[in-house]
Structure 1
Amino acid sequence: MKRLVEIFRSSRKDEMYLYVDRARGLADVPEPLLQQFGEPTSVMSLMLEPARKLARADAAEVLAKIEAQGFYLQMPPTAEELLRRERAGETGERD
């Protein structure tokens, strides 16, 4: 299953993103979530398929969530994830 998705960045929380079907936009995102998310800023559109590599999300899971609920919310990294990133940067490794 392929889908053209649009990704929005939160104005309130660094590294929080909403993935939605580009044709539907933010229509399926609940109003309370949009209020907490802040002003959504579009950062990119891309053709997403399950095998595509994403930096911090599993493409198959993103697609499944969009199909089921109309959006996928990517939360900011936890302190543990940030520490892992920092350590990987020191050694030149990637997740």
Structure 2
Amino acid sequence: MMEDIARGIQDELSGKAFDGSLKFDCGEDGVIVLADNTASTTDQNTDCTLRLSRANLEKLLTGQLNPMTAVMMGKIKVSGDMGVAMKLGQLLG
């Protein structure tokens, strides 16, 4: 399932430049790492980590969950470089 989400993100990123690295950490469901303009499910250290449920990740990626609202409501926990997280919003928007 995480592989499917990673493929969808990869398609979104196609033709766009993403500086830095970012990890979606969905706990036991796994991780998706964006680095070097690729999306993978291989865990590694990143500039920024977003901790959230897989359900909220899917909502975030389909535009059903506003990233800023989700952070304020505690649905997404951000650690590391906030600037990287902000760039992601521009890419997926």
- TM-score, with structure 2 as normaliser: 0.30
Q: Which has the larger radius of gyration?
A: 1
RCO higher in structure (CA 8 A, sep ≥6): 1
